[in-house]
C-alpha cells in the first residue's frame, strides 16, 4: 500500500493510525499510533524482534499494514538508510554512483550530469566525504559508509530521513560522529527517525523516543520514557537508571531494583586451564 499524500494537521508529516502489521499469522506490531512531525529527531527503541524495523518499513510504505493506515503529508519526501548488514559491499558502485542512483524517478539522463556532479560534491562535502566520489563503497571506513547512504538519502531532497540501526557495528567514536551529524542535519530542518537497540550510546542522547515491543509501551522525552517501569515492560527484565554527569545510564537490575554486575555461572570454565 502506498501512503496517501494528503494535508495533515499541524506539523505532522507522517501519521500511523492504529496500524497492525503481520508477515504471517502472528502480528509483528499491534495497534501502533505514531505521528512524525516536522523537525522531529525520534528514536524507536526496543529489544530484538520487537518490531522496530517493521514499524519503520510501515512508515516508509514498503510494508502494508494488515489494519490501520499510514498517511504521508503532501510534498513530504522520504529517504531511507538501511542497516549496513543489508548492503552488498561487493556491488560495483562508486560513492558518486551510489549517491546519484537515488534520483531515479522521472525522466533522467543515465549518466551523472555536470550539475549533479556539483550537487554530489556539495552533499559529500557536507557529510565529510570530500574527494571520495570515485572510491568504491567497500573502500571506506564504517562511519564513511554510513554517511554515503545518508548522502544518498539527502540527494533525493528527502524531508524525512529514516535510518535502520545507523550505529550498528560502529566503534564509540564513529557512533558519536554519526550521532552529531544527524543532530546537525536535524538542526538544518531534516526530520530524523531511527531505530536503535543501543540505549546508552544512542537513545539517551535523542530528544524523543518510542519504546516498542509489539505495541507502543511509552513515548516522549528520555526522562519520561527511560524509567524502570517502561524499560521493564519493553525489555522484559528489570532495569535501573543511573545519573552520571547529567547523563542517564541504563543498567540491568535485580528483582529488588539493585544493580547486578555480570557474574559467571558457577561451574563455568573460563580459559583453557584445568
Partner 1 sequence: MNWSDLSAPYAFEFFRNGVYVATMAGALCGLVGCYVVLRNMSYIGHGLSHSIFGGYAAAGLIGVNLFLGAGVWGVATALAIGGIVRRRPIGSDAAIGVVTTASFALGIALVQRYGSPGRSADSLLFGNVLGVRASDVWLVAGVSLMAVLFIAFAYRPLLFTTFDDEVANATGVRTTLIDTLLMIVLAATVLATMNVMGVTLIAATLVVPAVVARMLTDSFSKMLAIATVIGAISGFGGMNLSYHHDLPSGSTIVLVGTGFFVLAYLGGGSLRRRAGTVAHAH
In the complex, the residues that contact partner 1 under the rule CB under 8 A are 57, 60-62, 77-80, 82, 86-88, 91-94, 97-98, 100-105, 107-108, 110-111, 134-136, 138, 156, 162
Please state the separation of Cα 28 from the chain's center in Å. Answer: 18
Q: Whole-number minimum distance, CB 202 to partner 1, in Å?
A: 21
Q: Compute the distance between CA of residue 101 and CA of residue 112 in angstroms, rounded to an integer.
A: 9
Q: Is 114 exposed, middle or buried (0-12, 13-18, 19+ CB in 10 A)?
A: exposed
Q: Which is nearer to partner 1, 88 or 256 (CB)?
A: 88
Q: Which is nearer to partner 1, 29 or 225 (CB)?
A: 29
Q: Whole-number minimum distance, CB 60 to partner 1, in Å?
A: 4
Q: Which is nearer to partner 1, 47 or 82 (CB)?
A: 82
Q: Whole-number minimum distance, CB 80 to partner 1, in Å?
A: 4
For 34, phi and psi rounded to 5 degrees?
Answer: -155, 135
Q: Which is nearer to partner 1, 79 or 218 (CB)?
A: 79
DSSP letter (8 states) at residue 10: T
Q: Compute the distance between CA of residue 274 and CA of residue 264 in angstroms, rounded to an integer.
A: 17
Residue with cell 546508552: 200
Q: Which is nearer to partner 1, 159 or 176 (CB)?
A: 159
Q: Whole-number minimum distance, CB 11 to partner 1, in Å?
A: 22
Q: Which is nearer to partner 1, 159 or 248 (CB)?
A: 159
Q: Whole-number minimum distance, CB 272 to partner 1, in Å?
A: 39
Q: Which is nearer to partner 1, 154 or 211 (CB)?
A: 154
Helix (H, G, I), strand (E, B) or coil at 84: helix
Q: Compute the distance between CA of residue 177 and CA of residue 172 in angstroms, rounded to an integer.
A: 9
The DSSP H or E segment spanning 124 is helix 114-126
Q: Whole-number minimum distance, CB 110 to partner 1, in Å?
A: 3
Q: Whole-number minimum distance, CB 15 to partner 1, in Å?
A: 17
Helix (H, G, I), strand (E, B) or coil at 9: coil
Contact 79, 148 (CB under 8 A): no
Tell me the CA distances in angstroms from 63 to 55, 70, 273, one per residue in order: 9, 10, 52
Q: Compute the distance between CA of residue 44 and CA of residue 234 in angstroms, rounded to an integer.
A: 12
Amino acid at each position: 500500500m502506498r501512503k496517501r499524500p494528503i494535508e495533515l494537521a499541524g506539523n505532522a508529516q507522517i501519521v500511523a493510525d492504529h496500524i497492525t502489521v503481520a508477515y504471517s499469522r502472528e502480528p509483528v506490531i499491534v495497534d501502533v499510533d505514531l505521528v512524525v512531525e516536522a523537525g522531529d529527531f525520534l528514536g524507536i527503541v526496543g529489544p530484538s524482534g520487537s518490531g522496530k524495523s517493521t514499524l519503520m518499513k510501515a512508515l516508509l510504505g514498503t510494508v502494508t499494514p494488515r489494519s490501520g493506515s499510514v498517511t504521508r503529508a503532501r510534498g513530504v519526501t522520504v529517504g531511507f538508510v538501511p542497516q549496513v548488514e543489508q548492503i552488498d559491499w561487493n556491488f560495483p558502485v562508486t560513492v558518486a554512483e551510489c549517491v546519484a542512483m537515488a534520483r531515479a524517478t522521472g525522466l533522467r539522463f543515465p549518466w551523472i550530469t555536470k550539475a549533479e556532479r556539483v550537487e554530489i560534491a556539495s552533499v559529500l562535502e557536507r557529510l565529510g566525504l570530500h574527494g571520495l566520489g570515485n572510491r568504491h563503497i567497500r573502500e571506506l571506513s564504517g562511519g564513511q559508509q554510513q554517511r554515503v547512504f545518508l548522502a544518498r538519502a539527502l540527494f533525493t531532497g528527502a524531508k524525512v530521513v529514516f535510518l535502520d540501526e545507523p550505529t550498528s557495528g560502529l566503534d564509540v567514536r564513529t557512533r558519536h560522529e554519526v550521532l552529531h551529524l544527524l543532530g546537525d542535519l536535524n538542526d538544518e530542518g531534516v526530520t530524523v527517525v531511527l531505530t536503535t537497540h543501543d540505549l546508552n550510546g544512542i537513545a539517551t542522547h535523542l530528544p524523543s523516543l518510542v519504546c516498542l515491543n509489539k505495541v507502543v509501551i511509552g513515548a516522549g522525552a528520555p526522562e519520561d520514557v527511560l524509567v524502570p517501569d517502561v524499560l521493564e515492560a519493553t525489555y522484559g527484565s528489570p532495569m535501573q537508571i543511573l545519573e552520571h554527569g547529567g547523563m542517564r545510564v541504563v543498567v540491568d537490575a535485580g528483582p529488588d531494583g539493585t544493580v547486578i554486575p555480570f557474574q559467571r555461572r558457577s561451574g563455568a570454565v573460563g580459559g583453557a586451564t584445568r
